[in-house]
Chain A
Amino acid sequence: MTHMELWIDILIVLLILTNLKLMGSSRLSACIRTVALQGILLGALPLIAGHGQIPFRVVILSGVTILLKGVVFPWLLLRALRTSNTRREMEPFIGYSTSMLISVGLIGLAMWMGGRLPLPVPLKSPLVVPLALFTIMTGLLAIVSRRKAISQVLGYLVMENGIYAFGLTLAQKEPMLIELGTLLDVFMAVFVMGIAIFHINREFDHIDTDLLASLRD
């Protein structure tokens, strides 16, 4: 194992740990920062995996990713959080310790699936695919198990991070335009959700999504 692979491994482990941190913490601001850190790490992944000579477009892509996911989104979300006067995810449907346990189970599942999935290209590290799968599952779990709208936005972001990681492994030659387009989509989504949260909060004085269910008719 070379030093570079060691670094990739460490980065991937850190990414997995950010997912677990997200599932285990109740403070929403800490969750937002965790997701920001995840975005930065994910942005740095192609830079490290680049075998010394890094194409210019990868640098651009990484830079934009880090900027958006590490700085802009957290700023937007933290602002929404301040205005909505919520600090904690109070009563999630699944408790923190239990969601940690479930996450650990999901790691196992992701590892198993990652080993079975037929992939067209050889991978830099055997852990990238499990990481991507696990990140997607964590995002889904966050969306399913949490009440606050902000947690759900975070879950959505994490899921997108997972898809991004998956894309990293598969499409080294994917046109930059598509990547940037995806990023723009996500940006718009987060932006809209941030505004929506702001307005929901102004109308209803809370951002509990399960109370929105009473709007169904």
Chain B
Amino acid sequence: MTMNMTLLQIPAAFILAPLLPGVINRTKAFFAGRQGQPLLQAYYDIAKLLRKSAVYSRTTTWVFRAGPVISLAAVITALFVLPVGGSAAPFSFTGDMIFLAYLLGVVRFFTVVAALDTGSPFEGMGASREVQFSVLAEPALLLSLAAMSLIGNFHTAEIAPSRSLFMSLSEIYARLTMNAWAQSGTVLLLAAGAIAIVLLAENCRIPVDDPTTHLELTMIHEVMVLDHSGPDFAMILYAAALKLWIFCALLAGVLTPVRSGNLLLDTGAVMVGIFLIAVGVGVIESIMARLRLLRVPQLLSGAGVFALLAIVLVLRGQ
């Protein structure tokens, strides 16, 4: 049973991830009083792009063509260490959170390099902002995950020589029960806040970035992929959907502490949580404006402060 569920998580992500942008867009449409695009629009887009040919700039080299491929491969690899709620990931090992964060770093590196390969000033600008914000987002993500791994754990202080205290993502999420919330709700709330901000920043969402326009000087992620077309662009869209899935799953795992032992129920609850978070993102996008670019670092350092406070609370509060 356990084995089946963990193996099913990856196909589930493959199939369901492009639904998330659809849910967000429908939410935004609802708030704007529009009909909105079909829920399955992302699937249609990807299918159409896969059937098309591509146009390449004469400036570009193989680096440009490798960008989408490597990004998608890295995101797919990241799915292997991602627990969905209480049910463990196929690969779970101590420190997999670092591996996950660095795989997302690979995605970023190659997206940025592919953008620079075009020699376009716009893409350079987007790339520059992407790397700037990641400097602040990455510590926030890692510290909040570290804080969660320490909850209720470390005061059994005597360390056996072979056992280390902190855990794999799967173990962390397996222990986030209702009881954990009652015990250290503050910590979890802070950590969830930090992850939520990082989610918005890393997935180019308002208030950090605006995913709906492609040609504004204020864009970050969307402007970096201006020159990609055809199957390459399909891969980028798909990778973006999977990345959104990863972050939603990380956040939903904290916010839906259903750990009944019945895997079907638990996983179902987290899946519902994932889509509710997508709705939440849509709500935020509807009611907030983009921040000025100069304010974004402050928002992200805010996430860092949340995470830091969380970890300090765990270390001092227990």
Report which A residues bind B (CB closer than 8 A).
1, 3, 6, 9-10, 13, 16-17, 20, 24, 96-97, 100-101, 104, 107-108, 111, 114-115, 125-127, 130
Contact status B312-A111, CB under 8 Å: yes
When distances are taken between beta carbons in the complex, the residues of chain A under 8 Å from B185 are 6, 10
Known: A13-B186, A104-B305. 10 other contacts (CB 8 A): A1-B183, A1-B317, A3-B182, A24-B298, A24-B302, A97-B297, A97-B298, A104-B304, A107-B308, A115-B316
Give the residue name and chain of the A residue nearest to B318 (CB).
A1
B81 interface contact, C-beta 8 A: no
CB <8 Å contact, A127 and B313: yes
Residue of B nearest to A115 (CB): B316
Q: Which 9 A-B pairs have the closest CB atoms?
A: A9-B186, A100-B301, A126-B316, A10-B186, A24-B298, A1-B183, A6-B185, A20-B305, A111-B312
Q: A13-B186, A107-B312, A111-B312 are in contact. Are A100 and B317 (CB under 8 A)?
A: no
What's the minimum C-beta distance from B296 to chain A, rounded to whole angstroms?
A: 11
Verify if B309 is at the interface (C-beta below 8 Å from A).
yes
Task: Give A212 to B183 CA distance when docked, in angstroms.
Answer: 53
B60 at the A interface (CB under 8 A): no
CB of B41 closer than 8 Å to a CB of A: no
The residue of chain A having its C-beta at the shortest distance from the C-beta of B297 within the complex is A97
> Within 8 Å of chain A (Cβ to Cβ): is B184?
yes
Closest partner residue, chain B, to A103 (CB atom): B305
Known: A97-B298, A101-B301. A16 touches B309 (CB 8 A): yes
Please determine whether A97 and B309 come into contact, CB atoms closer than 8 angstroms: no
Cα A104 to Cα B312 in complex, Å, equals: 11
The residues of B that contact A3 with a CB separation of less than 8 Å are 182
In the complex, B190 has a CB within 8 A of chain A: yes
A24 — which chain B residues lie within 8 A by C-beta?
A: 298, 301-302
Q: What does DSSP make chain B's interface, helix, strand, loop or mixed?
A: helix
Residues of chain B whose beta carbon lies under 8 Å from any beta carbon of chain A: 182-186, 189-190, 297-298, 301-302, 304-305, 308-309, 312-313, 316-318
Q: A1-B183, A126-B316 are in contact. Are A13 and B309 (CB under 8 A)?
A: yes
Please give, as numbers and ranges, the residues of chain B lying within 8 Å of A100 by CB-CB distance: 298, 301, 305
CB distance from A97 to the nearest CB of B (A): 6
B305 adjacent to A111 (CB under 8 Å): no
Contacts of B317 in A (CB 8 A): 1, 9, 125-127
Q: Specify which chain A residues have a CB less than 8 angstroms from the CB of B302 in the assembled complex.
A: 20, 24
Write the nearest CB–CB distance from A7 to chain B, whole angstroms. 9
Nearest B residue to A130, CB-CB: B316
CA A151 to CA B189, docked complex, whole Å: 31
Residues of A within 8 A of B182 (CB): 3, 6
Task: Give 18 A-B contacts (CB < 8 Å), ordered by A residue.
Answer: A1-B184, A1-B318, A6-B182, A9-B313, A10-B185, A10-B186, A13-B313, A17-B305, A20-B302, A24-B298, A97-B297, A100-B301, A107-B309, A108-B312, A111-B316, A115-B316, A125-B317, A127-B317
Residue of B nearest to A3 (CB): B182
Inside 8 A of B304's CB, which chain A residues have their CB? Answer: 104
Instruction: Report the nearest B residue to A100, measured CB to CB.
Output: B301
Counting chain A CB atoms within 10 Å of each CB, which of B182, B302, B312, B318 scores highest? B312
Residues of A within 8 A of B308 (CB): 104, 107
Q: Which of B185, B186, B302, B318 has the most C-beta atoms of chain A within 10 angstroms of its own C-beta? A: B186
Q: Contact: A127 with B305, CB < 8 Å? A: no
Q: How far is the CA of A1 from the CA of B312 in the complex (A)?
A: 16
**Which listed residue, B186, B189, B190, B298, touches A96 by the CB 8 Å rule?**
B298
